[in-house]
A and B are shown apart, each in its own frame.
Chain A
Amino acid sequence: MLPELGNFALALALVLALCQAVLPVWGSYSGDTRLMAMARPLVVGQFAFVALAFAILTHAFLVNDFSTAYVANNSNSLLPWYYRLSAVWGGHEGSLLLWALVLAGWSIAVAAMSRSLPQVFMARVIAVLGVIAIGFLSFMIFTSNPFDRVLPAALEGRDLNPLLQDFGLIVHPPMLYMGYVGFAVAFAFAIAALLEQKVDERWVRWARPWTLAAWGFLTIGIALGSWWAYYELGWGGWWFWDPVENASFMPWLIGTALIHSQIVTEKRGNFRAWTLLLAIFAFSFSLLGTFLVRSGVLTSVHAFANDPSRGLFILAFLGVVTTGALLLYAIRAPRLEHGGEQPFAPLSRESLIMANNLMMVSACAMILLGTLYPLLADAMGWGKVSVGPPYFGVLFTWLMVPIVLLMPFGPFAKWRRDSFSALARPAATGLIIASLAAITAWLWVNDLPWRAIAGIFGGAWIIGMSALWAWRLLRDPARRGSFNGGRLGMWLAHIGVGVFVVGVLVKESTTIEKDVSMAPGDRIAVRGLSVEFEQMRRYTGPNYHADQGVFNVYDGDRLLTTLTPAKRQYKARGDQMTEAAIDAGFTRDLYVSLGERIGTDGAWAVRVYHKPFVRWIWLGALLMMLGAFVAALDKRYRRVPASEPTEAPTAQQRAAPALNAAARQG
């Protein structure tokens, strides 16, 4: 009975989404405030019914209702309760329901925190969110209903894919979806602005914390996926340039460009049309990501068994949303009210942000080409091809070189115009810090590869100059107060990039990977450590049997730790899973995982990997996420701009002579 109720809740949510997409917009054109005022209650209703559906599906998992096809396919009575909970979004239908829930959640947050915006504008933002909700709810109801029944009911479920029975997978999809769907707010804002033919600084200011929060969630979502792949796939890689990873990375790159161009539009009034275009693309790439994952058109480690009709539906939805938005942009963008565009010199903060945007968009275009090329080649009859990871790795690295070199100048540079001499001093300090760090590393470690040295140089360059920037600001009592949430967030995120650069380049160039055959009693040396294979033992988990290896790690004669990698055999599907064992550290990870049994003398194929600084990759991403959230929570964004016109002057109101002084401030 409950699943039917869930079905009904979804249908009601769809009806409410339809009303949400139509009525407020109608009101905004006819000037009917009653229709516009319906936007908020409709959002609340839609959220309530999607949440009800989600709760019912969760309940079905918790009570093992195998008469629901989705539960029968993705759960099992032996599955521990917390994995039954995360199995709700472990498959296709449930992950769509999560998408819809997250979208409804963002919509309700927008509705609740937008009292300061003009009603007409608000009504249109909420209506656009309604259109997106229609797409996903009807997709679910017509092609992938999580509440479909199997009659007669299955006696036992097929079990959740063992790869997904893991903590990383409990949190990775919700975070990623928070990011994807969060860009829908920026998208809705852009569409509303185009309908209005006007980009008001106050609206940009209003949209910024939403975009920052979405970007922060996307950052942590991608990082969690990478961390999960590292320890769960059992072969120690953290990024594979897999189509599905690329699909989440493209909106991240566009989102990075967007959060920077929004600063220019808010503070200076420049790049208005460009900011709108980036907002449209950030969300379009999120939809493209959903399409690539859910349609299975590309061969990928994430590609599950799929139904082509689903891919077609998302493709059609993607087409309608993207071409609709771009068409509107093409018609309206040239007619946007100008006013407030400020000229800027080639050496200015505007130019630096423009350089950032160019590099981010180029990187995204490069990844898009590499990701879709196999589809293009197939469609054109050039044969079945795939693009090897070196394409992405090499191009992306070179595209990031200017980013790393130019980024630290951003906070130092003045708006409108700066001079080389003013920027030369921090650059000299940064150069000294970076060189010292690189030379120290080179003297300290024998035969350090040049890529590791370059990584340490780049990271120290960014971190050193960021530290100098903060020191200069905090030293000056007059400017100390301006170290606000926005700046602190920027500072943390930039340092995060520096940490990430060190992690990637050092790890990639100095990793030692040994695939060996080991019998109990064997020892292997890896970078001063000695790993001894003591024995194999068997144990039984809640829903699997496992062969577990016991490996003692010695530093000289001292026992450092005991690692117990395992090979699990799941009961329900008979799937085999590798559980790596990792001794994690700030400067290195020791990674041991089991291959398969070789021969009869008890020997096993074993991976023993030594990965210096690999944690810094995720630490950098964490800092970026933290920075985004700190900036998003900046109190300035929550002020009601209309009531404080003197405190928050718009770009047009600023007098030209005051510009330089203001530019110093921010």
Chain B
Amino acid sequence: MTPARQRRMWLVLLILLGAGVATALALTALNQNIQHFFSPSDIALGQAPTARAFRLGGIVEEGSVARLGSGLTVSFVVTDRFKTQPAQFTGILPDLFREGQSVVAIGELNNGMFVADEVLAKHDETYMPAEVADAIARAQVKKASADSSSIAAPAPAAAGPKGY
């Protein structure tokens, strides 16, 4: 091998090594930071993890928002119009957090209570996150199959992204 080729080979090996290490690090970091999304129905089925943060999404149930004492802790109920999940958040809620509107919260389950670290704000009140729309659609299908004999379920407050 000529010295020039040898140098080139070393360079290629170094780059490959670097890329390998970088990929391994990136995948490890990715694995540690993935947050899964669960709806209240998923939680009712026991699919959500207990000692790991995840995203809870649905609609803030009407009449469920209550302030605990005089502090900044708020409790509310997230629903997919099939099952419900009580949640708690200490801090300042985003402007678009409202009863009857969709919400995505990040946090952990603690004895059946979802303790949120973060409640996400959206730019647009008519926008429903795709994952929430999907969760509500899934809940509707379940509901339809669960009580197929009864009359159609009440429509969810918002069904999917509304274009205008």
Which residues of A are interface residues toward B (Cβ below 8 A)?
73, 158, 161, 163, 233-235, 296-297, 299, 301-307, 343, 346, 358, 362, 366, 369-370, 373, 383-391, 394-395, 398, 515-517, 573, 575-578, 595-596, 598-599, 603, 605, 607
Contacts and interface: CB of A to CB of B under 8 A. Distances in A.
Taking each of A161, A391, A515, which has the highest tally of chain B beta carbons within 10 Å of its own beta carbon?
A391
Nearest to A603: B70
B120 to A, nearest CB: 8
Contacts of A302: 123
Contact of B163 (A235, A307, A386, A605): A307
B32 A299 contact: no
Given A299-B130, A576-B95, 7 more contacts: A161-B123, A369-B26, A384-B37, A390-B32, A398-B25, A595-B72, A595-B93
A385 B95 contact: no
A372 B25 CA distance: 17
Interface string B82-112: 0000000001111110000000101000000
A234 B123 CA distance: 12
Contact of A388 (B34, B122, B134): B34
8 contacts: A235-B92, A305-B124, A383-B36, A385-B34, A573-B125, A576-B96, A577-B95, A607-B92
A589 to B, nearest CB: 18
B129 to A, nearest CB: 5
Nearest to A362: B22
B26 A395 contact: yes
* Most chain A beta-carbon contacts within 10 A, residue among B4, B91, B92, B121: B92
A299 B93 contact: no
Contacts of A304: 123-124, 127
B142 interface: no
A366 B33 contact: no
Nearest to B121: A301
A577 B94 CA distance: 9
A515 B92 contact: yes
Nearest to A309: B163
A96 to B, nearest CB: 15
Contact of A578 (B7, B34, B95): B95
Contacts of A515: 72, 91-92
Interface string B12-54: 0001001100100110011011111100000000000000010
B64 interface: no
B104 A299 contact: yes
A346 B14 CA distance: 12
Interface residues of B, number: 46
B71 interface: yes
Contact of A373 (B30, B92, B134, B162): B30
A299 B123 contact: no
B163 A387 contact: no
A2 to B, nearest CB: 23
B35 A387 contact: yes
Given A304-B127, A595-B92, A598-B67, A358 B18 contact: yes
Given A383-B37, A395-B29, A296 B161 contact: yes
A343 B163 CA distance: 57
B4 to A, nearest CB: 7
Contact of A575 (B34, B71, B125): B125
Given A301-B123, A373-B30, A394-B29, A384 B134 contact: yes
A362 B15 CA distance: 11
B143 interface: no
Nearest to A367: B26
Closest 7 CB pairs of A and B: A595-B92, A384-B37, A391-B33, A388-B33, A576-B95, A307-B163, A299-B129
A578 B55 CA distance: 25
B70 A517 contact: yes
B18 to A, nearest CB: 7
A599 B67 contact: yes
Given A305-B127, A305-B161, A386 B37 contact: yes
Interface string B114-152: 000000111111110111001000000000000000000
Contact of B36 (A235, A384, A517, A603): A384
B126 A305 contact: yes
Contacts of A235: 92, 94, 121
Nearest to A297: B130
B123 A163 contact: yes
A343 B71 contact: no
A516 B90 CA distance: 10
A389 B30 CA distance: 10
A402 to B, nearest CB: 10
Nearest to A164: B123
A143 to B, nearest CB: 11
B72 A605 contact: yes
A385 B127 contact: no
Contacts of B92: 235, 515, 595-596, 605, 607
A523 to B, nearest CB: 17
B130 A296 contact: yes
Contacts of B96: 575-576
Nearest to B131: A384
A515 B118 CA distance: 13
B123 A303 contact: yes
Contacts of A366: 22, 26
Given A387-B33, A388-B34, A598-B70, A303 B127 contact: yes
B69 to A, nearest CB: 9
A391 B32 contact: yes
A73 B33 contact: no
B76 to A, nearest CB: 13
A387 B30 contact: yes
Contacts of A391: 29-30, 32-33
